[in-house]
């Protein structure tokens, strides 16, 4: 059975655990570097991306997590997790940590603040069946997509002016991101989609050559620059 680590420093940890368990995985909390050993994949949950960035440093997880992602470990980021995995972020603090694992430029809180949170139904490639009901809470907007990124879903016309057609589910290699919170509904199809990307053999959280490291140039040939100071 696939063993998935959930970054448990802040955010929707319990909700992701429930969804992953329902989707057929073993879910474990990752709070310190040793917790990465023996996991096959990682989930970076929603929360507050600046706070998570600081907690990664204080917990000692920043380097080992970046190494695991750079080594090709499958990783799923939702909302704040999308920001952490992106190559570049607008309206972020200069010291915001980015993993550069998926060739996206995002804008924090691009759909508005807490009061502008909204829900809608999305057609998502790869999940089958009815539309996915999506919950957007202070969600990031994708403002640029590199050529190696698959867009699996776009926002339908207009809960937020000017954002119709914005990518909200993207995939590049072993990395899946959503701008919304699939863990906040009973529908676990997006989590199953992620699990389908995970080899069913024992992960060890080890590193090797792979996608961009924090503060490095994003995957080659993209034209989405990394953010200085990450």
Mark whether 181 is an active-site residue: yes
Highest mean pLDDT among 42-56, 148-162, 177-191: 177-191
Single pTM value for the model: 0.85
Backbone angles phi, psi at 62, to 5 degrees: -55, -55
37 is catalytic: no
Domains along the chain? 3-195 (3.40.50.880)
Which of 15, 79, 170, 191 is labelled catalytic? Answer: 79
pLDDT in tens, 114-151: 656 889 999 999 999 999 999 998 889 999 999 999 99
Q: In angstroms, what CA-CA distances link 21 with 4, 18, 24, 95?
A: 10, 5, 5, 34
- The catalytic residue among 67, 170, 181, 191 is 181
Contact 177, 10 (CB under 8 A): no
**Could you say which of 15, 67, 183, 191 is catalytic?**
183
Mark whether 79 is an active-site residue.
Answer: yes
Task: Tell me what pLDDT residue 85 has.
Answer: 96
Please state the length of the chain: 230
Query: Per residue in 116-139, is it b (16+ CB within 10 Å) or e — as a string?
Result: eeeebebebebbeeeebebbbbbb
31, with CB counted inside 10 A (0-12, 13-18, 19+), is middle
């Amino acid at each position: 059975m696939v063993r998935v680590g959930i970054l448990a420093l802040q955010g929707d940890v319990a909700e992701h655990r429930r969804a992953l368990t329902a989707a057929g995985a073993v879910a474990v909390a990752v709070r310190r570097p040793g917790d990465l050993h023996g996991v096959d994949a990682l989930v970076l949950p929603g929360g507050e991306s600046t706070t998570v960035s600081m907690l990664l440093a204080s917990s000692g997880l920043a380097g080992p997590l970046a190494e695991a992602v750079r080594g090709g470990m499958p990783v799923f980021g939702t909302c704040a997790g999308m920001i952490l995995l992106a190559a570049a972020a607008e309206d972020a603090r200069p010291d915001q940590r980015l993993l550069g694992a998926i060739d996206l430029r995002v804008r924090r809180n691009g759909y508005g603040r807490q009061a502008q949170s909204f829900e809608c139904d999305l057609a998502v490639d790869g999940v089958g069946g009815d539309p996915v009901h999506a919950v957007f809470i202070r969600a990031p907007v994708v403002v640029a997509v590199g050529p190696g990124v698959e867009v699996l879903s776009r926002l339908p016309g207009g809960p937020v002016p000017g954002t119709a057609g914005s990518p909200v589910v993207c995939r590049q290699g072993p990395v899946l991101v959503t701008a919304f919170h699939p863990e906040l509904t009973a529908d676990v199809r997006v989590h199953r989609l992620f699990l389908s990307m995970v080899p069913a053999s024992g992960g060890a959280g080890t590193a090797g050559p792979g996608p961009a490291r924090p503060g490095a140039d994003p995957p080659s040939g993209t034209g989405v620059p990394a953010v200085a100071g990450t």
